[in-house]
Amino acid sequence: MVLERHGLVVDVVPEKREEYLRLHAAVWPQVEATLQACNVHNYTIFVLENTLFAYYEYTGADHAADMARIAQDPVTREWWTHTDPCQTPFGRDAGPGETWRDMREVWHLE
């Protein structure tokens, strides 16, 4: 098993910040179960002002395939109809429709 660490960043729409935090105070159990079934673990979202930072560890063999499985889950897709409107791209180099942006790992201490 190879462990992959993933970091992502997105901004939160200021008027929807409290809604986003409320939603994540009680993430739907099926959303969490789907993430775990797709080899996502230690998923954490941090907030600083209106920026969200996410970190997760991936322990599967095919990250792209597992991310596609997550995106196909109907409960997760419904969850996203609530969370996606709360998000706006981070940074001036964000592409059209890009929300969560992958960060490149530059250092890690075990």
**Which positions are catalytic?**
24
Q: Which residue has the tokens 């597992």?
A: 66
Q: Which residues contact 76 (CB under 8 A, 6 or more apart)?
A: 30, 31, 34, 70
Express the helix, strand and coil content of the chain in percent, nearest 5 each: 40, 30, 35
Burial class (CB in 10 A: 0-12, 13-18, 19+), 28: middle
